[in-house]
Amino acid sequence: MSSTSLIVRAATRVLTGLLLVFSIYMLLRGHNEPGGGFIGGLIGATGFILYAIAHGCRATRQALRVEPQMIAAVGLGVALLAGVIPLLIGDQLFHGLWAFWRYEGGYVPFSTILVFDVGVYLVVLGSVLTIVLALEEEV
Amino acid sequence: MAGSSHDAPALGGPIGIVSILIPAALFAWLCTQIGAVTQGPVLWTMDWVPSLGVEIGFLLDGLSLTFALLITGIGTLITLYSSSYLGYQAHYPRFVAYLLAFMVGMLGLVLSDNLLALFVFWEVTTISSYLLIGYLADDPKSRRNALQALLVTGTGGLAFLAGIILIAAAAGTFNISELPDLTQSLLYPGIFVLVVLGAFTKSAQVPFHFWLPNAMAAPTPVSAYLHSATMVKGGVYLLARMNPSMGGTDAWFWTLTVFGGVTAVFASVVALKQTDIKQVLAWTTLMALGTLVLFIGVGTPYAIEGMVVFLVVHAFYKAALFMVAGLIDHGTGTREVDRLRGLAGKMPFTFAAALLAGASMAGLPPLFGFIGKEFLYKGALESPGTLWVAGCAFAASALMFAAAGIVAFRPFTGPRSVPAETAHDGDAAMLAGPLLLAALGLGFGLFPDVTEPLLGAMAGAVLGEPVALDLYLYGGVNTALILSGATFAVGLVLYLLHGSIRRGLQTFGEGADPAWDRLMDGVAAGAKGLANFVQGGRLRVYVFVTFSTLAVMLAATLIRAGTLPDLFELEELRIKHWAVLIFIVAGAGLVAVTNSRMTAVASLGVVGVGVALVFIIFGAPDVAITQLLVEVLQVVLVAVAMLKLPHMKPENVKTVRGKDMILSLSIGAMVTLVALHVMATPLDLRITEYFEANSVPQAFGRNIVNVILVDFRALDTFGEIAVVLIAALGAYGLLRGTRYRGGSPR
Amino acid sequence: MEPLVAIMVGALTAGAVYLMLARNVLRFLFGLILISNAANLLIFASGRLTPESPPLVPYGADVPPPGVANALPQALVLTAIVIGFGLFAFALVLVYRGYQNLGTLDSDEMRIAEPKE
């Protein structure tokens, strides 16, 4: 899988990293600005696909470390967990729970909503990569 | 059927013994109920579907008890007979299972108080009858005849079910014991037609008669049981049961008397044409069924009394004679009347049973059949339309006299024929039934008083009022007795001339069977044509039909919606709006007509970007980003797949498909108009306003779209990401899991 | 702008129908993409078109300024796009696998489940 040029391969290493960081940024800011789990997951998948085009599928799978369908399945589990936690403490299914860690001058929010969005991110990332990698390896 | 029975286990082995004991025990128990039932109906109920108010009830009155006694009593004799007749066969256990299933169905039919339960049991008898007629499944004729019986009676059953639903609508109950008088109901015409249709198909009235003679393909015990004594009387039972709530109208009287009378006379004429003993018996069974329907239609007390007595009489002698036919078949290997003469010496016991049963059939004194015929004549003479009813009864009785001679007298007398030389009588198991039934015909004739309580209760149940039945052999010289004498005279003449009558009848056609076969062939060909038409296996055709339907529905919607309200301000349009429009329209047009894959993918990209631009212009950044990202991934996927897929060929030589083009353009135009209508319709924004008001205070999020996705409607989103995962796993499974290795298809 | 979006939806639908009526299943697939675009656009437009004001609440405010775009159809369309992609990917793989196993992209020749005429 070294038909692509050295420059491309070197560049994609940087690009993939940037895209991944950007995807997580989009995921985290999604609650207040345009972004979110769907968009973040798609951007992350694009980054890995770029990597796969440059370095081949085998290298991409190694970089992922786990099977993409596993990522997607775990993501679905995470999303479900976010929905079930409020149920366990007597609230409705998928009811958002919030906790704020306050410090002087501001606060950091934690919520089951963010957990859910992370689940969405993982499902989209894993699903897209599952199909693209499998199809590319087939051809 | 005339196989050897030498190696048969006694009484058919354990299976056969059980099959004999079950009806015998039921019969004995039912006998203990006679006393109670003659005092008045007995009713048990229990809840079946309490929420629907459906309860399963069993009604034991004179009518159902008489039927139940016939079913179990004759059932005992038939199973005994079968244990010898069929006991040696490998499929005997299957036969027993069918027969017992039928018995349960028939008992349920006559005992059910709930019409729905009655219908279920009705269908049980239909299906078990199908299995029993087709018992000799290696014979295509047997299978065909079984299917014919199933289709005719099954169709009638469906009509009956519809009738039951109408009855419940009119009466407010499914329970027979609670049925009011239905004749005044608005639904009466519908109920009448449907119920009569069910009864006429089951009891093989003209023009639905043809299945019954064909059902003689069944083994002889089945013919004796189902197609003379029990199942075919299901329709008669139904009419008798419904008589109190549905009878007494002109429609009831004329329909039943005309169809019953025609069936009786027509069938007894055709009976003389037959040369197979079983066929003669089958056609005379039709005659009996027609007579029963005729007299239920008359409906006067005398007529019903005559009907009741004749029903029992007929069950006795017809079951006996069918078993005799089986004995003759068994002993000689043939059932052709012309080849059978002089059997009396070789088969004395069979002869005795045949003679007694035949005399009862002919209506000779002092047998029970004579009393039955006398009461029928009395009923006919005092009924409205006397000439028709009495004429039919007289003609049928005279013809029956001749038929009785043909099956029960002629084969046993005269010079011994070739098959008779090697004939042998049956064993005790086979002889017990016909001898006992024939003897009962004589006993009840001599002492009719013993039957009066039960048969009186039965006539009372049919009439809906108590009846004091008084049966007697000799009631002085009256019109009925004179008619009987005339019957014997005419019957004797017919018997003596039956050879030439048969030759005369042979010139007539084959009856309904060829028409039936043509009908069945037509149905099969029609079904095949329909399947080929609607499921031709061409995706294009399916899609074309789907979109044509859509076009019709769109057109209808537009016509109903009327003219378009002029709400849109076009002044605000700017260059960028027109540019997006041109992007999308050009892209869609190009992808539709191009033969180059790369052009198609590029055009799709243009379309996708154009749609994303619409999202950006109208304040949907999240959607626009998603659209663009998906666009990129689609191109990647298509590009990867293209490496292994062939180039697209121009379609159908011509580049442009005219018909498809017209359909797609018209759908596109109509969708545009519908879209305009949609955007002109006032919009209910309450949900959006709720989200806008609560997004920050309740969900601590300033991006309302994302808050909707992950908080307000998180459960929906969860379902959606699950779908995405399933699609991915499906695609993965297709790529990795399966590879078609079957070579070329087919 | 509404009339223009309506024309876009119509043009996309017309192209999609024409493609889906083709024998080549790859064309059918392109039609699938077009028709999901048309549907998304129609849902989006049925929530009214409000130029250049995304449904975002300004920092520090409790409610969005009046006249922002309708958020509900946007949320619907966003998931519809992703699901549409899943459908497309699955259909593409199906076409691809179908071609490998049957050796054709012509839907008229894909007759394993149907008797030969």
A106 touches chain C (CB under 8 A): no
* pLDDT tens-digit readout, B595-649: 888 889 899 999 999 999 999 988 899 999 999 999 999 988 888 888 878 777 6
Q: Looking at the complex, report in whole angstroms how far the Cα of residue B564 sits from the nearest Cα belonging to chain A.
A: 36
- Domain with A17, as residue range(s), is 6-138
Domain ranges of chain B: 250-496, 507-536, 579-649, 702-740+742-746
DSSP E strand boundaries for C18-116? none
CB-based contact A34 C56, cutoff 8 Å: yes
For residue B555, is it left (φ>0), alpha (ψ between -120 and 50) or beta? alpha
In a domain, A126, yes or no: yes
CA-to-CA distance for B9 and C111, rounded, in angstroms?
56
Residue closest to C58 by CA, chosen among A114, B707, A107, B696: B696
Check pLDDT > 70 for residue B744.
Answer: no
Q: Of B157, B105, B109, which Cα lies nearest the Cα of B129?
A: B105
How far CA B97 is from CA of B5, B18, B101, B128, C68, in Å, comes to: 21, 11, 6, 9, 76
Q: Tell me the pLDDT tens digit for each residue of B316-369.
A: 999 999 999 999 998 888 888 888 888 888 899 999 999 999 999 999 988 999
B703 or B654: whose pLDDT is higher?
Answer: B703
Chain C nearest C-alpha distance from A52 (Å):
18
CA distance B41 to B43: 6
Q: What are B80-116's pLDDT values in tens digits?
A: 999 998 888 888 999 999 999 999 999 999 999 989 8
| B632, B721, B729 ranked by CB distance to A79: nearest | B721
B162-211 pLDDT, tens digit per residue, is 999 999 999 888 888 888 888 888 999 999 999 999 999 999 998 888 89
Of A108, A77, A113, the C-alpha closest to A95 is A113
- Please provide residue B564's backbone torsions phi and psi, each rounded to the nearest 5 degrees: -80, 130
Phi, psi of C107 (to 5 degrees): -65, -25
The set of residues, in sequence order, having a beta carbon less than 8 Å from that of B146 and lying 6+ positions away, is: B130, B131, B133, B134, B215, B217, B218
Peptide bond into B301 cis (omega under 30): no
In order of their start, the domains of chain C are 2-109 (1.10.287)
Q: Which residues of B touch A98 (CB under 8 A)?
A: 700
Query: Does a structural domain hold residue A1?
Result: no
Query: Do residues B138 and B150 lie in contact, with contact meaning Cβ atoms separated by under 8 Å?
Result: no
Q: Has residue A131 been placed in a domain?
A: yes
Estimate to the nearest angstrom the gap between the alpha carbon of B218 and the chain centroid: 19
Give the number of domains in chain A: 1
Q: Do B620 and C74 touch (CB under 8 A)?
A: yes
The CA radius of gyration of chain A, in Å to the nearest whole number, is 18
Q: A88 in a domain, yes or no?
A: yes
Residue B236's pLDDT band, with cuts at 50, 70 and 90, is very high
pLDDT, tens digit, 9 for 90 and up, residues C55-104 = 888 888 888 888 888 899 999 999 999 999 999 999 999 998 888 888 88
From chain C, pick out residues whose CB is under 8 angstroms from the CB of B577. 1, 4
pTM over 0.80: no
Report the residue of chain B nearest C108, measured CA to CA: B538
Instruction: Please give the Cα distance from C47 to B614 (Å, whole number).
Output: 13
Residue B738 confidence (pLDDT) above 80: no
> Could you say which of C40, C51, C112 has the minimum Cβ distance to residue B618?
C51
Chain C contact for B658, CB < 8 A? no
Nearest-CA distance C67 → chain B (Å):
11
pLDDT exceeding 90 applies to what percent of chain B?
A: 45
- Look at residue B47 and give its three-state secondary structure: strand
List the single range of B141-150, B615-624, C102-111 with lowest mean pLDDT.
C102-111
Chain A environment of B725 (Cβ under 8 Å): 72-73, 75-76, 123, 126-127
Averaged pLDDT of chain B: 87
CB-CB under 8 Å, B702 with A120: no
DSSP bridge partners of B679: none
On whether residue A21 sits in a domain, the answer given is yes
CB spacing of B725 vs A43 below 8 angstroms: no
Q: What integer is the mean pLDDT of A29-36?
A: 85
Residues 3-32, chain A: which have Cβ within 8 Å of C?
32
B115: closest CA among B74, B164, B186, B78?
Answer: B164
- C-alpha angle B261-B264-B268 in degrees, rounded to nearest 5: 145
pLDDT-derived band at B295, boundaries 50, 70, 90: very high
Task: Inform me whether the C-beta atom of residue B682 falls under 8 Å from chain C C-beta atoms.
Answer: no
Entry field: residues in chain A = 139
